[in-house]
Amino acid sequence: MKNKIPETANIIPSDFIIIGGTGHLSMSKIIPALFWRFIDKQIDQKSNIILCDREIKSKENFEKLQKTFCVEAFERHKKNQKYWENFLKIITIIKLDVISGVGHLELLEKIKEKFDPKDL
């Protein structure tokens, strides 16, 4: 059965910035929910998911651990593995300390990558 998403549920390309992005809540609930939105084509390759955290795991370790929280999607359909690989491409992990400000320039640069002043 094909999943029919109402047109009003379409999400324009967005930057999702998650503070504490490699923490348990993010990895067990938020990112899996965003992955389902990606599978349903509500989030696409034009979007960014930016995970900010004080302590950064390597991207490889993050991906391996995160996949364990998305098992249901892989059990539901084998082609979701292909979606997973594309989903990981829109995820960036940035070391950010909101108290000291360390990492804020990297976050700013990532946000500015897709910003076009002509769109204002």
**pLDDT tens for each residue of 54-72:** 988 788 999 999 999 999 9
Instruction: Decide: 43 and 11 in contact? Cβ < 8 Å.
Output: yes
CA 66 – CA 49 distance, rounded (Å): 14
Q: Lowest-confidence range among 20-29, 34-43, 52-61, 103-112?
A: 52-61
Residue that is written with structure tokens 């249901």 in the block: 72
Residue 88 in contact with residue 31, Cβ under 8 Å? no
- 102: which 2 tokens? 């360390």
> In this predicted structure, what is the pLDDT of residue 1?
44
Q: Does the pLDDT of residue 5 top 80, yes or no?
A: no
Hey, what are 36's tokens? 């389902």
The structure tokens listed for 23 are: 């923490």
Pick the CATH number of 13-112 from 3.40.50.720, 3.40.1280.10, 3.40.47.10, 3.30.450.20: 3.40.50.720
pLDDT, position 7 = 66
Whether this prediction's pTM lies above 0.75 is answered by: yes
